[in-house]
Amino acid sequence: MMILDLIHKFLNLVAPPFTLFALLFLLPPYQFIKYILSILSTVYSEDVAGKVVVITGASSGIGEHLAYEYARRGACLTIAARREKSVSEVAERALDLGAPDVLVIPADVSKVEDCRRIADRTISNFGRLDHLVNNAGVIAVALFEEIEDITNFRSILDINFWGSIYMTKFAIPYLRRSEGRIIVLSSAASWIPAPRMSLYAASKAAMTLFFEALRIEFGRDIKITLVTPGYVESEMTQGKFIDKTGKVDVDPKMRDVQVSIIPVVKVEECAKAIVNGACHGELSSSGTSLEDALSKKILDYTGIKKVLYPENIWELESKIK
């Protein structure tokens, strides 16, 4: 305990001036370098003509118009959604707009086997995968206290969060092969709290943190574009929500309450901006193995682990080895 007290006192003395030093002398160069890299990234734009793009939730809204935007650029598409008729109509228009081939897969991303099937059929049909667009999502609008049966809202996380994870897991081997990209449709709700949207916001915040972690793990092997739009023309802005009973409802009055005077972006503009951002790409640091991680090397080479970690944990680790 005496050692830990000494460490705490030392950190209390050192941390404040070091933080001030970092803010004054380290942060500005870092921000400047990021700014220069962002400018350089806009010079290069990926040509997706002939490449293969998987889009979930492509039967309406942003997913539908992402399919059209990729089609205009000559990409081959796999489009998946639960509503087979609607997604088939999207496929027809995408072909008219220039997509060389479109594979339609009726699927529910909350089901792990459906996600596996999307990846497998894409590879069987096209032999490659270049962009994965995790777009499928649902929204609930209800005050938390008024929710009648909380178990009816599992679909929010099952579709928004787990659906993206399932799809990503099965796509990883093919994206590594093509040095491809994952486009993640999160939401501004993930960082701007709003009443009646607690569960939806939580699912989107979970997506954001998960893919930020993957960005580090994948490094340059697989790029990640994280999108956090505000209100965009869609079924949601027309009043389609999961209500407090757990059922899908269309309620224009609740739409007016929730959206209010906040501007709603045209879906075509949003889709174009997303694909532009993905094609311009970004530079990211390489992921590292456990043995190569800088944080582990510092602990190993300095011997400070014996000081920082409780003695019983140190002994347990030695026994396991």
Whether 200 is a known active-site residue: answer: yes
Q: Which residues contact 49 (CB under 8 A, 6 or more apart)?
A: 73, 74, 75
In the sheet where 52-56 sits, what is the strand order?
102-106, 76-81, 52-56, 131-134, 181-185, 223-227
Per-residue pLDDT of the chain (321 residues; tens, 9 = 90+): 566 666 666 667 766 676 666 666 655 665 556 555 555 555 678 889 999 999 999 998 899 999 999 999 999 999 999 999 999 999 999 999 999 999 999 999 999 999 999 999 999 999 999 999 999 988 877 888 888 888 888 889 999 999 999 999 999 999 999 999 999 998 887 888 788 888 888 999 999 999 999 999 998 899 999 988 877 776 666 666 777 777 776 766 666 666 666 677 788 888 999 999 889 874 433 344 444 454 555 555 555 555 555 554 444 444 444
For residue 227, which of 108, 63, 89 has the smallest C-alpha distance? 63
Q: For residue 112, what are its two tokens?
A: 């792990």
Q: What are phi and psi of 169, to 5 degrees?
A: -60, -45
pTM, rounded to two decimals: 0.75
Under DSSP, the state recorded for 291 is: T
Catalytic residue among 166, 200, 231, 309: 200
User: Hey, what domains does the chain have and what are their CATH numbers?
Assistant: 47-280 (3.40.50.720), 288-321 (no CATH)
Residue 29 CA to residue 256 CA, distance in Å, equals 45
